[in-house]
C-alpha cells in the first residue's frame, strides 16, 4: 500500500475536523462573567479608561494574570479582591472566554 491511499481519507477527516472546530472551540459563557463585564465588557473590550482590553489575549497569559492577582503576587485594588472570589475553574473559564473573543481594533468603534 502506498501513501496517497492512506492520506486521502485522513485529509477528509482533518478537513471535517477543522470545519467543526470553531463551533466546538467556542467556550460557554462563564458563570462569573457578570463580575467582570462592567469594566472589561462581556466581549473583553474595555469601555473604561485605565482598564485593559482582554479580548483575543493569550489564554495562558490571562490565566496567569488572574492566578497572580489571586495569590497576591500581582496587586491591584479591584483585581486582587475580585480574583479572590474566583476558583481555579472560574479562572480557566474566564480566560478561555476572553481569549476567544475577537481582539480590540483601534478605531473600529468596538
d(CA 86, CA 29): 15
How many whole angstroms separate alpha carbon 68 and alpha carbon 97?
A: 18
42 part of the interface to ligand HEC, by CB under 6 A: no
Alpha carbon separation from 103 to 44, 80, 83, 85 (Å, rounded): 8, 24, 23, 26
Residue 60 C-beta: closest distance to ligand HEC, Å? 11
Nearest distance from C-beta of residue 107 to ligand HEC, angstroms? 20
DSSP annotation of 66 reads H
Output 74 or 110, the one with its CB closest to ligand HEC: 74
Shortest separation between residue 28's beta carbon and ligand HEC, angstroms: 15
Question: What part of residues 46-105 is at the interface with ligand HEC (CB under 6 A)?
Answer: 50-52, 54, 62, 65-66, 76, 78-79, 82, 86, 94
Look at residues 82, 11, 90 and name the one whose alpha carbon lies nearest to residue 40.
Answer: 82
Which positions touch ligand HEC (CB under 6 A)? Answer: 32, 35-36, 38-40, 50-52, 54, 62, 65-66, 76, 78-79, 82, 86, 94
Amino acid at each position: 500500500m502506498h501513501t496517497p491511499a492512506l492520506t486521502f481519507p485522513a485529509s477528509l477527516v482533518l478537513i471535517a475536523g477543522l470545519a467543526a472546530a470553531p463551533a466546538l472551540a467556542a467556550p460557554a459563557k462563564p458563570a462569573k462573567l457578570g463580575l467582570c463585564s462592567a469594566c472589561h465588557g462581556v466581549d473583553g473590550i474595555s469601555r473604561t479608561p485605565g482598564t485593559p482590553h482582554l479580548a483575543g489575549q493569550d489564554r495562558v497569559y490571562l490565566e496567569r494574570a488572574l492566578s497572580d492577582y489571586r495569590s497576591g503576587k500581582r496587586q491591584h485594588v479591584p483585581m486582587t479582591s475580585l480574583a479572590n472570589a474566583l476558583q481555579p475553574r472560574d479562572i480557566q473559564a474566564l480566560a478561555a472566554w476572553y481569549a476567544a473573543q475577537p481582539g480590540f481594533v483601534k478605531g473600529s468603534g468596538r
